[in-house]
Amino acid sequence: MLKNDLILRAAKGEAIERYPVWLMRQAGRILPEYRAVRNSLSGFKELVETPELAAEVTIQPVDILDVDAAIVFSDILVVPEAMGCEYQMIEQKGPWFENTVKSTEDLVQLAQTDFDVEDRLGYVTEAIRITNKELNGRVPLIGFAGAPWTIFCYMTEGHGSKTFSEARKILYTNPTLAHELLSRITKVTVAYLKAQVAAGAHMIQ
């Protein structure tokens, strides 16, 4: 039983006594407590992939800012990594993919989409379970995943971009590849979001 279900009632369009408040990056650099945990590790990915620590920083904003929801600490790029397209998070630069998908041959190298999401992304679902246990019904927990087009852009471009021109070029020059990759990303993303709900996420975005 949730003690504060304000954001869930708002999402359902029900009458609410005030607007619910949560921040998109509330578990992050705005908090000294987060930076202390982050600086004790080898990097951002270690934090994402360590369920106990991911749960700890997920809960920090609830304790400190008294927000109306927690959002699991993770990254949208865990999906392409689960598909076999690994990334590194470079300090001051952002994500970097050594191998990108630009051809049918590259697509063949990716994992098939029938893999067990819980097996490859279990660190996220475990973080959800730990977080819910620690929250003990104080506020809802939000799960999330990146939109397929966003993931497509990173998998084809290899890094962040203002234009994602490489991704756009593939749409026009190789629509068959583009549709197949988008289809695979979508299938994995749906399975991933279902796994988050099964693990205890109260809502997803």
Give kind and range of the element (H or E) at residue 128: helix 122-135
Give yes or no for a contact between 137 and 195, defined as CB atoms under 8 angstroms apart.
no
Count of other CB atoms within 10 angstroms of residue 152: 23
Catalytic residues: 25, 29, 38, 75, 154
Residue 111 DSSP class: P
Residue 16 DSSP class: -
Token code pair at residue 25: 């990056």
User: Which of 169, 187, 176 shows the shortest CA–CA distance to 107?
Assistant: 176
